Amino acid sequence: MQINITQHDTIFVLAITGSIDSLNADELSQGFAASIAQGHVRLVADFSLVNYTSSAGLRSLLGTVKSCRLAGGDLRMASVQPQVQRVLDIAGFTSILNIFPDVRHAVESFTEAA
Amino acid sequence: MSRIACTAELANLPVLLGMVADMCRREHIDDATRHDLQLIVEEACVNVMHHAYPGGQLGLLALELRIVQEDGGPRRVVLTIEDQGRAFDPLSLAAPDTTEPVEARATGGLGVHLIRQLSNRQHYQRHPRLGNVFTIEKALAPPAPH
């Protein structure tokens, strides 16, 4: 798994590549936590290149979305692929996460709300 | 039939998932089913790695994969995960409430919930010699015509 971070004004976009599993989910949590620690709590997770996530990845997403919202921000998802979407659906995460068709829409959703 | 016995530690997860990938290649199993089988194996094996043995103690985990087909019936994969740790029935875990709001949402039991939803049958037995035996079955779609 790789994480590539870009900044769009006050919004951090974390583009993740590969599989999120029990071996690397902590790395993902740390990537999110590092952004939050710098005061960036409006995050977009670009999942266009994520083909797999286990419950370890779901735990990382849940912990991050809770931290962001407590600090007045949010973690929003973009370009979730069908197999990952199905796992999010089964876990009931599609009702708690804001999911957008692509990064542009996810980024713009923050400015619309502001 | 394929079988691996190894120590129940996270470092062995790639080997276990590799065995699933090999079987899927060999049996021409489609990508969507391979995805589900890998997720099932990760969740079941990681539960053993995290919870079966007391902290600091390394015990064994065995994973067996079989393709079964009774006359005329659909092919299915039978996965068996064995460990000799403390007796624990993963199917005794209550399903998480997937409708709760984010602040109340717990993540315990999510792995077993995924296993239940992505497979067709699950069975747990505490065996006198083998220890915990968790069996999961998943039906396979008929192979695509060539």
Least confident of A13-22, A53-62, A67-76, B97-106: B97-106
Q: Which of B42, B97, B99, B115 would best serve as a mutation to test chain A binding (most A beta carbons within 10 A)? A: B42
Q: Where are the domains of chain A?
A: 2-113
Alpha helix segments (H runs only) across chain B: 13-26, 31-51, 110-118
Shortest Cα–Cα distance, B113 to chain A (Å) = 8
Fold of A2-113: Transcription Regulator spoIIAA (3.30.750)
Predicted confidence band of residue B144 (pLDDT cuts 50, 70, 90): low
pLDDT score, position B53: 96
Give the distance from residue B74's alpha carbon to the nearest chain A alpha carbon, in angstroms.
23
Which of B38, B102, B117 comes nearest A90 by C-beta?
Answer: B117
- B96 has a chain A CB within 8 A of its CB: yes
Contact residues on chain A for B111, CB-CB shorter than 8 A: 54-55
CA–CA min distance A86, chain B (Å): 10
Q: Is A96 exposed, middle or buried (0-12, 13-18, 19+ CB in 10 A)?
A: buried
Contact criterion met (CB < 8 Å) for B102 and A92:
no
pLDDT at position A64: 97
CATH entry 3.30.565.10 includes domain B2-139: yes
Lateral strand order in the sheet of A42-53: A2-8, A11-20, A42-53, A74-78, A98-100
Residue B143, pLDDT > 80, answer: no
B10 contact A CB<8A: yes
Give yes or no for residue A114 having a pLDDT over 60: no
Interval A94-113 mean pLDDT? 93
* Average pLDDT of the residues in A68-96: 96
What are the Cα distances from residue B69, in Å, to B24, B115, B118, B124, B137? 16, 21, 19, 21, 12
State the pLDDT confidence band at B146, using cuts at 50, 70 and 90. Answer: low
**What are B49-85's pLDDT values in tens digits?**
999 999 878 899 999 999 999 888 889 999 999 999 9
Dihedral angle, C-alpha A51, A54, A56, A61, nearest 10 ° = 50
B96-141: pLDDT as tens digits: 888 888 888 877 789 999 999 999 999 999 999 999 999 999 999 8
β-pairing, B76-83 with A11-20? Answer: unpaired
Which DSSP helix (H) or strand (E) runs through A65? helix A55-70
How do beta strands A98-100 and A74-78 pair?
parallel
**pLDDT, averaged across chain A:** 96
Q: Which residue has the higher pLDDT, B40 or B96?
A: B40
Contacts B15 to A, Cβ<8 Å: none
Nearest-by-CA chain A residue for B45: A22
For chain B, give every domain's residue range.
2-139
Question: pTM (2 decimals)?
Answer: 0.94
* Complex ipTM: 0.93
